Amino acid sequence: MLSKGLKRKREEEEEKESLAVDALWLDPGHAAVAQAPPAVASSSLFDLSVLKLHHSLQQSEPDLRHLVLVVNTLRRIQASMAPAAALPPVPSPPVESSMADNLLASSDAALSASMASLLEDLSHIEGLSQAPQPLADEGPPGRSIGGAAPSLGALDLLGPATGCLLDDGLEGLFEDIDTSMYDNELWAPASEGLKPGPEDGPGKEEAPELDEAELDYLMDVLVGTQALERPPGPGR
């Protein structure tokens, strides 16, 4: 199975990570190791957290606890790095100042955007795939996830073929699922909007701070994912 391959790779990485622990001790005097309330986090801790978030978002089914903890930690780090600046709203353009600030602002907004899009995906996917979850008679009304959940619930039992016959079409279904892999726009300006479709691609041309290595890595992820996915359907 295709996703199986993806998942096994991740497991091997995990094992390598956990076994190669001895080599990863940081200098105890590292700026990010805080005994007292830290004034500012080092940028390496920020980068590390962004990397973890990126890695987590790449999963076909992210560990929600891990994701939430990393995001909350990242927000804390960001807050300490730029305490005066309010977190910019999603559609606003990046701040016109030093490169670091630019990266920070766009990362933060894009972070919110990508988090939002991922969690939206999770929510939407859940709405599509959730089997009929019969509530108690006295259960609170209006708790169905997405308007389509009750009627689509039975589709879960009927298999993939029927699952494709959705109102918003085959492309809509897979676009939502795929978006979580494409939408790691941690470096793209937020002005692109919350949830660009796959045809937009990551806005590399508008994020000059994105370096070659990150670009290659992102492309590998996309190409690797595409190679594993089914052949593109109509409209993709």
Partner 1 sequence: LKCTEKYVYYLSFQSKSDIISTVEFNHTGELLATGDKGGRVVIFQREQESKNQIHRRGEYNVYSTFQSHEPEFDYLKSLEIEEKINKIRWLPQQNAAYFLLSTNDKTVKLWKVSERDKRPEGYNLKDEEGRLRDPATITTLRVPVLRPMDLMVEATPRRVFANAHTYHINSISVNSDYETYMSADDLRINLWNFEITNQSFNIVDIKPANMEELTEVITAAEFHPHHCNTFVYSSSKGTIRLCDMRASALCDRHTKFFEEPEDPSNRSFFSEIISSISDVKFSHSGRYIMTRDYLTVKVWDLNMENRPIETYQVHDYLRSKLCSLYENDCIFDKFECVWNGSDSVIMTGSYNNFFRMFDRNTKRDVTLEASRENSKPRAILKPRKVCVGGKRRKDEISVDSLDFSKKILHTAWHPSENIIAVAATNNLYIFQDKVN
Q: 189 or 195: whose CB is closer to partner 1?
A: 195
Binding positions for partner 1, rule: CB under 8 A: 1-4, 7, 14, 17-22, 24-26, 28, 30, 32-38, 41, 45, 48, 52, 60-61, 63-66, 68-69, 71-73, 76-77, 80, 112, 115-116, 119-120, 122-123, 125-126, 128-131, 133-136, 138-140, 143, 145, 155-156, 159-160, 163, 177
- Provide the minimum distance between the beta carbon of 131 and partner 1 in the complex, in angstroms, as a whole number: 4
- Provide the minimum distance between the beta carbon of 33 and partner 1 in the complex, in angstroms, as a whole number: 5
Q: 97 or 162: whose CB is closer to partner 1?
A: 162
CA separation for the pair 236, 226 (Å, rounded): 11
- Provide the minimum distance between the beta carbon of 136 and partner 1 in the complex, in angstroms, as a whole number: 5
- Provide the minimum distance between the beta carbon of 161 and partner 1 in the complex, in angstroms, as a whole number: 9
Question: Which residues neighbour 46 within 8 Å (Cβ) at sequence distance 6 or greater?
Answer: 74, 77, 78, 81
Q: 26 or 223: whose CB is closer to partner 1?
A: 26
Q: 20 or 99: whose CB is closer to partner 1?
A: 20
Q: 122 or 215: whose CB is closer to partner 1?
A: 122
- Provide the minimum distance between the beta carbon of 189 and partner 1 in the complex, in angstroms, as a whole number: 19
- Provide the minimum distance between the beta carbon of 118 and partner 1 in the complex, in angstroms, as a whole number: 8
Q: 33 or 219: whose CB is closer to partner 1?
A: 33
